[in-house]
Amino acid sequence: MPPEMFHTRLLDNLTTAILLVDAGMRVIYLNPAAEGLLELSSARIVGEEIERVLQEDSDTAASLQRVLETGVGFTKRQATLHLGVGKEMTVDYVVTPVTLESEALIIEIQPLDRLMRISREEAILSAQHLSQLLVRSLAHEIKNPLGGLRGAAQLLARELASEQLTDYTNVIIEEADRLRNLVDRLLSAPRRITREPVNIHEVLERVRHLVEAESDGGLLIHRDYDPSIPEIIGDREQLIQAVLNISRNARQALGALPAGVTPEIRFRTRTQRQFTIGNQRHRLACQIDITDNGPGVPPELLDTLFVPMISGRADGTGLGLTIAQSIVNQHHGLIECKSRPGMTVFSMLIPLEKSDD
């Protein structure tokens, strides 16, 4: 391999974001990790003034200029970068002077938010796994005696002379059936998924029609799709189920809006580069955001949203999100939630190609 290619490969695969700035304070190079971090393509950043790319509260250009003049680099910890529309990111960055064809500066950026996020994601994944194991073994244990109870109630009903008394055995039978349905749902959650190319926008459109029909036209779902997203390899029906569970929750939450507020759900798709889910790194992932302007997830539920049987609704079974999360997990992805009154976002992240093992 020629040395230039070797170095390009190396830079392309680093998780640290690297920017190169010339003496005129313009960006001359950035690696894919930097593109992913700043959410801007190389074509848009190269040639830009560094101050427009790294927007901070302090004077970045002046500190960089000093490095050029003195030849002494610096490390800045916990700097806040502003990334377009109201988004902020906390990073550490290191500036080092180099002489290439002329004087230049290397800027290495380590996002702190992303690191915090990865450890939180790992916690979600392991909590999810543990609770699923627990619930599944419990469900098995409930199923057997339940069959016995129901059978005995049926036998008893046959022996009973008065119809009034069979009302009681009917209650036992009906309640046993209801419990059995619940247990079946708990046990059926992690079915094996099929793997074929799935167009995520077809999935979203199916759910959109379903949810709009369920609300009798009282709710319109806005769409903001990135048409360039490649197909996901996965299970179409299961993905529909996952998106439907999240969207139904949003529709239910919007039922309680005060008068004068228009209920809104928004489907948004984007690609994410160099994304780490759990401890696996993926080059390209698809992000699906389902946003509603409802009252928000009750704060006491936020940490346990994906745990089975946790519900904030009187008639909820608390399984919708557990099932959605387990479907997305089987696609090697993850669902996470950010919520405040007026804006709740459920984000599904699904890798678009085989992970770097």
Chain residues 239-268 in contact with Mg ion, contact rule CB under 5 A: 249
CB of 347 to ligand ATP, least distance (A): 12
Q: Is 320 in the site for Mg ion (CB under 5 A)?
A: yes
| Helix, strand, coil percentages for the chain (3-state, nearest 5) | 45, 30, 25
Measure Cα distances from 161 to 141, 166, 167, 168 in Å.
33, 8, 12, 13
Q: Which is nearer to Mg ion, 234 or 320 (CB)?
A: 320
Q: How far is the CB of 221 from Mg ion (least distance, A)?
A: 17
The reply on whether position 308 binds Mg ion by CB under 5 A is no
Q: How far apart are CA 240 and CA 225, in angstroms?
A: 16
Nearer to Mg ion, 249 or 276 (CB): 249
Which of the choices ligand ATP, Mg ion, none does residue 294 contact, using the CB cut-off of 5 to 8 A by kind? ligand ATP
Question: Which residue lies nearer to ligand ATP by CB, 238 or 322?
Answer: 322
Helix H or strand E segment including 167: helix 163-188
Choose among ligand ATP, Mg ion, none what residue 312 binds, the Cβ cut-off being 5 to 8 Å by kind. Answer: ligand ATP
Q: Helix (H, G, I), strand (E, B), or coil: what is residue 219?
A: coil
Interface residues toward ligand ATP, by CB under 6 A: 245, 249-250, 253, 292, 294, 296-298, 301, 305, 311-313, 316-322, 344
Q: Which range touches Mg ion (CB under 5 A), out of 128-136, 226-234, 283-291, 317-325?
A: 317-325
The dihedral formed by the CA atoms of 325, 330, 332 and 335, expressed in degrees to the nearest 10:
-10
Cβ proximity to ligand ATP, 60 vs 322, nearer residue = 322
**Residue type for position 73:** G
Q: What angle do CA 55, 59, 62 make, to 5 degrees?
A: 120
Helix/strand/coil for 146 = helix
Query: What's CA 189's distance to the chain center, in Å?
Result: 19
Identify residues 16-75 at the interface with Mg ion (CB under 5 A): none
21: left (phi over 0), alpha (psi -120 to 50) or beta: beta
Considering the complex, state which of residue 23 and residue 302 has its C-beta at the smaller distance from ligand ATP.
302
Shortest spacing between CB 211 and ligand ATP, in angstroms:
12
Residue 118 contacts which entry, Mg ion, ligand ATP, none (Cβ below 5-8 A, type-dependent) = none
